[in-house]
Amino acid sequence: MKLGLVVDLDTCVGCHGCATACKQWNTSGTIGPLSDENPYGRDPNGAWLNRIRTYEVDDSPNSKTVNMPLSCMHCEDAACVTVCPTGASYKREEDGIVLVDQDKCMGCNLCSWACPYGARELDPDQGTMKKCTLCVDRIYDEKLPEQERKPACVLTCPTKSRLFGDFDDPDSEVSVAVRERSGKALMPELGYNPTNKYLPPRNKAVVQTYEVDKSVIGTLKSWANRVIAR
């Protein structure tokens, strides 16, 4: 089994719902509270496990704004696991999720420097590294209805831009989406084999326009004025 996420860049609106739901769930979950710095000030900051980057893609006539959520990719060959001196960062054999053992982490930042996706953040209050867990404490919670055993980000997305499932199952929702929409891994050339995939933006449909005869517009205006006068 290889669990991970698919993000549709064509429908993500950058609402940050996934980021806030992620922080809320994980703050009350197994990895401990995620600290905030100056949360109500002019320059708020803090530990987030999912952040949204926004880009303007200038590819006329298909230019558009692309919102790109970034979190841990749960790489098959995770550099963060390789460099960790204490063994705090590890990849689970049973489902491929990359996690951090908070009891072993000493906050050295090596994993953060090794991660090319910027997916790890040091919590200044706890002095340990935080990252996306795929809500591991939620997806295996048998007390929850089966339809709710998904990461918080997936459940909260208003445009259904996020999918969760098993990439080892060719018939799973994530596998089908990647196959049908030519889903891509982020920076595959680095060789870390990220599990999460992105569905690329689709080109805008070309709308055929026609020039309307000015006499027709004048006739329509006259007809509209007569209707209003009645």
The predicted-structure confidence for 111-140, as pLDDT tens digits, reads as follows: 999 999 999 999 988 899 999 999 999 999
Give the number of C-alpha atoms closer than 13 A to the C-alpha of residue 53, restricted to the C-beta side.
9
pLDDT, residue 67, reads: 95
Say whether pLDDT at 189 is over 80. Answer: yes
What is the rounded average pLDDT of the residues 180-194?
95
Confidence band for 13, pLDDT divided at 50, 70 and 90:
very high
CA 201 to CA 66: how far, in whole Å?
8
Say whether pLDDT at 160 is over 70. Answer: yes
Q: Which backbone phi and psi does 90 adopt, to 5 degrees?
A: -150, 160
Domains with residue ranges and CATH for the chain? 3-229 (3.30.70.20)
**Cβ neighbourhood burial of 65 (10 Å; 0-12, 13-18, 19+):** exposed
pLDDT, residue 27, reads: 85
Closest to 100 measured CA to CA, from 76, 125, 74: 74
pTM of the shown model: 0.83
